Amino acid sequence: MNKYVTTLLLSGLATLHAFGQANISPAPKQNKTIVITGGTIHIGNGQVIENGTIVFKNGKILSVGTNPGTEAGAEIIQAQGKHIYPGFIAPVTNLGLTEFESVKATLDFNEIGNMNPHIRSLIAYNTDSKVPATLRSNGILMAQITPEGGTIAGTSSVVQLDAWNWEDASIRTDDAIHINWPVPPRARGFGPRTAMTPQVIEETRQKAVNDLQQFFAEAQAYTTLEKHAVINTRFAAMKHLFDGKQQLFITANRQKDIVAAVNFAKSFGIKPVIVEAEEAYRVIDFLKANQISVIVKQPHALPSNLDDDVNLPYKNAGILAAAGIPVVISINGYWQQRNLPFMAGTAAAWGMDKEKALSAITLNTAKALGIDKQTGSLETGKDATLFISTGDALDMKTNHVEKAFIQGRSINLDNLHKQLDKKFSDKYSAKAAD
């Protein structure tokens, strides 16, 4: 037995060594005023300032403009010909909740049970993960860490991606509860069909909706009581959802499910954010009338319906934005989050205004997450969470993050991918020179 335990431990150590090359310590607090001048400043709200200057101190932006001034002893960063952006925000991601997809013990985003509002993603968030560093290198400096699975998946939190622990990382703790709207099994492409009859499918779906309705009704009644003979942690976790201090995110795709999800939330006095929303373009008037924000997920994908325009996923964000719906862009997975700005770039290439596409991963996202008073755009009084790119940050050919700051702290932009690139570039450069 000891032989097998020893082998397992050695295997684990080898794995840690293999994935432990990017040991980067979080940056210290900002200790002097920083002035970035001469660059093109993309505010995040649609406004662009050419040859602008931004000044920040103690982690907060002091001024933004063409000549906002400076102060003695400030560090001056020349950014002529470069672009300055607010830090991008990745919403609805299991980043930091999973490390190796093939190892169940590292998957902390899906808990047992169907109604889990009390499951808090923040306390499982791994700040020692090697993945966030790869995101920072593309300008993604914040993320909404989100649980998955079940009907009520749990409670997300918003973090910044350079921290010692989850307490330091948190920007907004327990910002939203996430629901996966009950839907019938849906055949896609040439995959297997369900053996259930249409009647059984609909009955199963309706039962799930009824169970959700009952759960919410009981939770709302529970939260109105001042004292409880028995503590129900699931109901207690929903208190701030009903008093407006917490948000509700509902994943729904088909037009009838989107309408049903919004009406369900309204019946409890809640205005939800709709996630994925593949058929949101079919119910634009309904979404506008109810002032619903939409998180468009996975723009680089095939359409869900066989008779849809094959380019619809690329166009979806632009269609909704043009209609006046607040749009946020997101992407599935965790390693893939580094490609978030290029999803916005795709939306811009398929009809969305370039600065609106930028807002879809900055200010619009901050508004949807309830952190827009603190971050999401480069405005006086907000966090100095921003970066400098030598080119267009929404274009994978020109996105080159030269320097980045989180709450004024100049962060390390090294990561495992860069280290591996250098390692093997050096190897084959040496061979070519021989």
Q: Which pLDDT band, with edges at 50, 70 and 90, does 114 fall under?
A: confident
pLDDT at 9: 42
CA–CA gap between residue 57 and residue 61 (Å, rounded): 7
Beta bridge partners of 56: 34, 61
Structure tokens at 197: 């009859």
- Kindly tell me if the per-residue pLDDT of 85 is higher than 80: yes
Q: Are 136 and 161 spatial neighbours (Cβ–Cβ below 8 Å)?
A: yes
Q: Is the pLDDT of residue 100 over 70?
A: no
Cβ–Cβ < 8 Å for 169, 127 = yes
φ, ψ for residue 15, nearest 5 deg: -65, -45
User: What mean pLDDT is predicted for residues 18-36?
Assistant: 78
Task: Please check whether residue 278 is in contact with residue 304, taking contact to mean a CB–CB distance below 8 angstroms.
Answer: yes
Q: What is the mean pLDDT of residues 377-406?
A: 96
Give 326-356 pLDDT, tens digit per residue: 999 999 888 889 999 999 999 999 999 999 9
Per-residue pLDDT, 186: 57
The answer to whether 386 touches 52, Cβ cutoff 8 Å, is no
Return the beta strands (E) in 116-188 as ranges. Answer: 140-145, 152-160, 170-180
Dihedral sign of CA atoms 60, 66, 69, 75 in order: positive
Q: Given this model, what pLDDT does residue 105 score?
A: 59
The residue behind tokens 């929303």 is: 277
pLDDT of residue 104: 62
Distance CA 209, CA 264 (A): 9
Q: What is the DSSP letter of 87?
A: P
Relative to beta strand 327-330, strand 293-297 is parallel
Judged against a pLDDT cut of 60, whether residue 18 lies above it is answered with: no
pLDDT at position 23: 61
- What are the tokens at 93? 């991601």
Residues 15 and 9: their CA atoms lie apart, in Å, by 10
The answer to whether the CB of 144 falls within 8 A of the CB of 175 is yes
Name the burial class of residue 369, with classes exposed (0-12), middle (13-18) and buried (19+) by CB atoms within 10 angstroms of its CB. Answer: buried
**Position 27, amino acid:** A
Q: What's residue 428's pLDDT?
A: 84
The CA dihedral of 394, 396, 401, 404, to the nearest 10 degrees, is 50
- Over residues 48-61, mean pLDDT: 95
For a pLDDT cut of 70, what percent of the chain falls above it?
88
Segment 43-71 mean pLDDT: 91
* DSSP type of residue 28: P
Q: Which of 83, 90, 50, 29 is nearest to 405 (CA)?
A: 29
Higher pLDDT residue, 96 or 20? Answer: 96
Domains of the chain: 26-87+376-434 (2.30.40.10), 88-187+197-375 (3.20.20.140)
Q: How far is CA 411 from CA 30, 326, 380, in A?
A: 10, 31, 21
Dist CA 73 CA 75 (whole Å): 7
421: enclosing H helix or E strand: helix 416-433
Q: How far is it, in rounded angstroms, from Cα 212 to Cα 229? A: 24
Q: What whole-number distance in Å separates Cα of residue 349 and Cα of residue 188? A: 27
Per-residue DSSP letter, 362: T
pLDDT score of 113? 77
Q: Flag whether pLDDT at 68 surpasses 90.
A: no
Quote the CA–CA distance of 64 and 41 in Å, as a whole number: 9
Q: What is the mean pLDDT of residues 300-312?
A: 86
| pLDDT tens-place string over residues 142-198 | 999 999 888 999 999 999 999 999 999 999 999 999 999 998 765 554 555 556 788
| 19-33, 125-139, 223-237, 345-359: the lowest-pLDDT one | 19-33
Please provide the average confidence, as pLDDT, over all residues in the chain.
88
